[in-house]
Amino acid sequence: MSILEARNVSIRYITGDFKDIGLKEYVMRRLTGNYHVTEFWADKDVSFTLERGEMLGIIGSNGAGKSTLLKAVSGIMVPTEGWIHREGSIAALLELASGFDGELTVEENTYLRGAMLGYTRKFMDEKYDEIIDFAELKDFEERPFKQLSSGMKSRLAFSIACLVKPDILILDEVLSVGDGAFRRKSEAKMREVIAGGATTILVSHSLPQVREMCSKVLWLHKGRQIDFGTDVSGICDRYQDFLDGKLML
């Protein structure tokens, strides 16, 4: 039995007039027949399977539907059509630096984020010093979060997130955090987590990274699935050709 299986997953977004118009305007537009909503398929008919310990790389240009697919895999969204079956715990590290509260101190934000990721208080008490050390924020613990630089913010976010020990790990562009020195450190840490046996999904714009680390590749383009399989180098070669303009879809 696969640890993660997605079958014909399609996800529809609705776009158009409905946002920010308010009830009064909504009623008016409904009455005058001026209310328009358009549908937009962020993902269409995507299927893949993952076995325990495998690592899937998702590639594709911007707007390919990668992040939407990950949201469906992690359970934040439900597929409009198709289904996703998963076994065990799942941790999705998406757009790390958002979701912090600017008014709270670094310490308070650390605990809040830990709680969001499903850690226990005991675990946080034990790991707190380690997190702050890793993020190199020893002198900033009592500072309001809004005073931190954006690099510091993502460093903290990464340092909390990398302690997860899930069965399925989802990484959306998180291997590239901070400046040169921290980047190397964080990459090493992430490899450690992956080596811990988690089944991993990696979204990356760095093809060398995908070639080196992944055992399966899924290529998405404008919501459609172009290719999926274990032939990592073959698919990556074709994607590179596509990026160079040699291959038309």
Partner 1 sequence: MFQTLKSYQFLFEELVKRDFKTKYKRTVLGMAWSVLSPLLHLLVMRLVFTRFFGRTTPHYTIFLFCGNLVFSFFSESTNQGMTALTGNAGIFTKVNVPKYLFLFSKNVQCLINFGLTLCVFFVFCALDHITFTWRFVLLLYPIGCLVLLNLGLGLILSALFVFFRDMQYLWSVFTQLLMYMSAIFYSVDNYSPKVQRLFLINPVYVIIKYFRVIVIDASLLSWHYHLLMAAEALIAFGLGCWMYKKFNHKFLYYV
Q: Residue numbers of the site for partner 1 (CB under 8 A)?
A: 13-14, 18-26, 71, 74-78, 92, 94-95, 98-99, 101, 103-104, 108, 111-112, 115-121, 124
Question: Which one, of 242, 64, 93, 100, lies nearest residue 176 by Cα?
Answer: 93
Shortest approach of partner 1 to residue 114 CB, angstroms? 8
Closer CB to partner 1, residue 13 or residue 128?
13
Closer CB to partner 1, residue 156 or residue 235?
156
Polymer length of the chain? 249
Question: Which one, of 58, 87, 84, lies nearest residue 73 by Cα?
Answer: 84
Shortest approach of partner 1 to residue 48 CB, angstroms? 20
Closer CB to partner 1, residue 25 or residue 51?
25
Taken in order 210, 195, 164, 56, the sign of the CA dihedral is positive
Q: What tokens does 111 get?
A: 């605990």
Closer CB to partner 1, residue 21 or residue 226?
21
Shortest approach of partner 1 to residue 117 CB, angstroms? 7
CB distance 139 to 169 below 8 Å:
no
Beta bridge partners of 58: 203, 218
CB distance 175 to 186 below 8 Å:
yes
Shortest approach of partner 1 to residue 112 CB, angstroms? 5
Q: What is the DSSP letter of 145?
A: G
Closer CB to partner 1, residue 105 or residue 215?
105
Shortest approach of partner 1 to residue 90 CB, angstroms? 8
